A and B are shown apart, each in its own frame.
Chain A
């Protein structure tokens, strides 16, 4: 059930969110419950985006507010064991240094309870393979804003394939110029056209993985 903090975050009321977090902490609330309320607010933001009520700027603002909440809670959450919904490796492929879309997906996945390994930008295929091996992540999200990212996306998918059973890792692509045609070219499993779609795909894939 949505509470006042979740609603304030969903309504992008930054100051109210900060005040409510402080208020709850002062009242001795469990930081994990505050985080859960914030995650609920982020879920509502995603729903509003998918319903056409919110736009990219709203996603970015919600992400900025959520990051502030996490920064406030993080020292208090040390030692607590959060239940992760799954592990995802994310990065912008080799040759492309754009990070805005990728960062938005990372923060949305984290707000949805995923453990995210963010490899940054201009990431070579073997670094993705290494991270999958290290984390055991069943989901890989590749980002690119430029059309020159298409070949590195394909090379990364091929590197993952060469490194082990392809069926153990599901791969999504995202970024402005990435279409179904590009997905087919690269051999990825799906398009994560926007952050809520990326979360939905991760939900689907971590259930079956």
Chain B
């Protein structure tokens, strides 16, 4: 219950939107399907700021995202970072991120520079040292540690202030902290070709490393959700998608860890926002092993949303899944039709409308505005 409700008052805009978001996640009927924003680089473009400013000043980044939400009139944010994006992505991808205004032209997109930074023999090092200590020794290879440390300090000092501004402006957020299965940082550190080969050549070693990493990755999700007073945490999966890995790898090196993270978060009352990039359709049925409503499926258009509804729709809600390609290359009519069909087939309960993955930098503004308008038009359901 919100503070205003406890006071016996009428819920303010923030509370009204947050209540609707929570209801949608809990598969309860809503008066209007929540329309959620997920975008980073697009925010800079939409608000007339260069990528260099967006990537090098966390206040500019926050202001761009907030201004975008306000101008669009969305009901909330999927995930918001309260610091510089490049150091955060570096730690998630275990890779160097080339940044606009430094290695890249001022108004270009940052780029993950994936390479085989971690060598195969370092699995043993990781297992011996533990994950946190290994990461501390690894990160200087891919990120400026002075900037990384300053960014963490900035987030610790400013997250509370940002949360206050979001509340004041009536823009709730679903999560502000992120974690992933061990598969993802290992894949980034080793590079995808090398790591996928490791899954065939030395699966026991990979598994042993993942077992060491898991408690810390659970701790990240729970800790960040608590620190940011969030519904839950963003739990990412991008290279571990069913379309990318064989069933054997998925069953042994992806699923057990995903299941453990979701269950541990749920034990603390936290929802896992499963940010599942690429196509996970093959393994959807497996998610029925998880507690109902413990997850919110954040899909990007590759996973079959209709199959999701059929297999999991009576136990879990979906957040998505308007494809990034449609935002960049489609028309407002395409977006209108996509949202109509999505609401018809997946909603109106258990659905939160959102750009899949992350609205790309070259999203046409008219497409983003059409997305919000369609969300409002069909937000009561399509009959």
Interface residue ranges, A against B (CB under 8 Å): 12, 14, 54-58, 60-61, 63-64, 95-98, 100, 103, 146-148, 150-151, 176-179, 181-182, 185
Smallest CB-CB A-B distances: 4 pairs: A147-B328, A147-B360, A177-B325, A56-B244
Q: Does B303 contact A (CB under 8 A)?
A: no
Are B246 and A148 closer than 8 Å at their CB atoms? Answer: no
Instruction: Report whether B329 and A185 are in contact in the complex, using a CB–CB cutoff of 8 Å.
Output: yes
Instruction: Collect the chain A residues with CB atoms within 8 Å of residue B360's CB.
Output: 146-148, 177
B56 in the interface (beta carbon within 8 A)? no
CA distance A146 to B199 in the complex (A): 26
Which of B60-68, B189-197, B343-351 faces chain A? B189-197
Task: Decide: A55 and B243 in contact? CB cutoff 8 A.
Answer: yes
- Interface size range of chain B in the complex: 20 to 34
23 pairs, CB–CB < 8 Å, chain A vs chain B: A14-B201, A55-B242, A55-B244, A55-B245, A56-B196, A56-B243, A56-B245, A57-B199, A57-B244, A57-B246, A58-B246, A60-B192, A60-B197, A97-B98, A147-B328, A147-B329, A148-B108, A148-B362, A177-B324, A177-B325, A178-B325, A181-B334, A182-B329
Q: How far is the CA of A104 from the CA of B381 in the complex (A)?
A: 43
- Residue B278 CB within 8 A of the other chain: yes
Are B109 and A146 interface neighbours, CB within 8 A?
yes
Contact flags (1/0) for B342-383 with A, using CB distance below 8 Å? Answer: 000000000000000000111000000000000000000000
Point out which of A146, A151, A177 has the most chain B C-beta atoms below 10 A from its C-beta: A177
Known contacts A95-B108, A100-B192; A147/B325 CB under 8 A: yes
Alpha-carbon gap, A151 to B361, bound state (A): 13
Which residues of chain A come closer than 8 Å to B326, judged between CB atoms?
181
Q: Which residue of A lies closest to B200 (CB)?
A: A61
A64 CA / B246 CA spacing, docked (Å): 16
A91 to B3, CA, bound (A): 57
Complex Cα–Cα for A60 and B334 (A): 35
16 further A-B contacts with Cβ under 8 Å, apart from A56-B245, A146-B360, are A12-B200, A14-B201, A57-B200, A58-B246, A60-B196, A61-B196, A61-B197, A64-B193, A97-B113, A98-B114, A147-B324, A147-B329, A148-B108, A150-B329, A150-B362, A179-B325
Q: Could you tell me the distance in whole angstroms from the C-beta of B3 to the nearest C-beta in chain A?
A: 41
Residue numbers in A under 8 Å from B12 (CB-CB) = none
Give residues in B with beta carbon < 8 Å to A.
98, 108-109, 111, 113-114, 192-193, 196-197, 199-201, 242-247, 249, 278, 323-330, 334, 360-362
> Do residues B192 and A148 form an inter-chain contact, with CB atoms below 8 A?
no
Q: Which B residue sits closest to A151, measured CB to CB?
A: B362
C-alpha gap A58/B246 in the complex (Å) = 7
B246–A54 CB distance below 8 A: yes
Q: Is the CB of B193 within 8 A of A103?
A: yes
Residues in B with CB closer than 8 Å to A176 are: 278
- Give the Cβ gap from B76 to chain A, nearest Cβ, in Å: 24
Q: How far is the CB of B249 from chain A (nearest CB, A)?
A: 6
Contact check, B330 vs A181: say whether CB atoms are below 8 A apart.
yes
